[in-house]
Each structure stands twice: as C-alpha cells, then as structure tokens.
C-alpha cells in the first residue's frame, strides 16, 4: 500500500491572464499566470509544496517572465480579475497602462517599468 508519494503540478488558476508588455515581440500582449510545484502527500493528504516556480507567459509567443514571490502571484490573480471586468467594458488606453503599471509593480517588483507605464497612462489621458 502506498501511503506517501508526490508529484509535480502546474496550474493556471481560473485561466488567469493579465495584459503586459512582451519584450520579445515589443507588443502589448495577454500573459497567462502560471504556478508549478512539487508536492508530497501522506494518505492522500498534501503535506508539502516546494520547488515552486511562478511566471507570466505571453499567450502569443510563449515568452516567460518570472514572478519573484507568492505575493506577486496573488497580485497577478487579483489583477486578472480586474482585467476580466475591464475587458467587458472596452478599456481605454489609460486604464490598460494603469493595469500594466500594477503588474510591473505588484507582480514583478519592476518599479522603473511601472513608472514608464504610468507616464504612458498620463499621455493617453492628455491625448
Ligand atoms: Zn510575446
């Protein structure tokens, strides 16, 4: 009888996706939010989760951007929820850039990129 074991699991919770800048294509693209981890179990009860990798993946070309930590992953899933609502209501360029600034700052910790996205949002507002 096997009472303990493990495996590897990939998931994309609720088909989460966020708009972000694909530096491979130099285009705005939609990125899927992914997590992959190894886990162990005893009597079918999950006991550990380790070797966790989290990333954003361009849905167009597959370009990957690593998410540095768990909070960033949670932020990505939350921003995906905002995006799903926004997408239904024809987002303005300004809203889109503000969302990208959030992804850069809260998900990836790329503060300089967040500043660039914010100034793009301001420019859209003036246009
Ligand atoms: Zn791409």
pLDDT band at 8 (very low <50, low <70, confident <90, very high): confident
Q: What does pTM read for this prediction?
A: 0.84
Is 70 exposed, middle or buried (CB count within 10 Å of its CB: 0-12, 13-18, 19+)?
exposed
pLDDT mean over 91-95? 93
What is the 83 CA–ligand 1 centroid distance (Å)?
A: 18
The yes-or-no verdict on residue 127 having pLDDT over 60 is no
What is the 63 CA–ligand 1 centroid distance (Å)?
A: 5
What is the average pLDDT value for the chain, to the nearest integer?
90
What is the 51 CA–ligand 1 centroid distance (Å)?
A: 26
Q: Say what the pLDDT of residue 6 is.
A: 74
Q: Say what the pLDDT of residue 77 is.
A: 96
Phi-psi region of 61 (alpha: psi -120 to 50; beta: other; left: phi over 0): alpha
What is the 74 CA–ligand 1 centroid distance (Å)?
A: 22
pLDDT band at 34 (very low <50, low <70, confident <90, very high): very high
More confident residue, 43 or 70: 70
Distances (CA, A) of 92 to 10, 97, 112: 33, 9, 22
What is the 120 CA–ligand 1 centroid distance (Å)?
A: 20
d(CA 59, CA 27): 12
Q: Say what the pLDDT of residue 3 is.
A: 67
Q: 72 is written with which tokens?
A: 């960033």
In sequence order, which residues have a C-beta less than 8 Å from that of residue 37 and are 6 or more positions away?
A: 8, 9, 49, 50, 51, 52, 53
pLDDT mean over 18-35? 96
What is the 71 CA–ligand 1 centroid distance (Å)?
A: 24
């Amino acid at each position: 009888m096997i009472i303990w074991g493990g495996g590897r699991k990939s998931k994309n919770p609720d088909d989460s996706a966020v708009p972000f800048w694909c530096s491979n294509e130099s285009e705005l693209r939609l990125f899927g939010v992914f997590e992959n981890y190894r886990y162990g179990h005893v009597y079918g009860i999950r006991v550990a989760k380790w070797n966790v990798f989290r990333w954003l993946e361009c849905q167009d070309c597959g370009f990957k951007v690593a998410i540095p930590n768990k909070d960033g992953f949670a932020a990505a899933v939350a921003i995906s929820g905002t995006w799903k609502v926004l997408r239904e209501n024809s987002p303005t360029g300004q809203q889109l850039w503000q969302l990208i600034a959030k992804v850069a700052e809260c998900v990836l910790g790329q503060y300089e990129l967040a500043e660039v996205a914010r100034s793009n949002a301001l420019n859209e507002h003036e246009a």
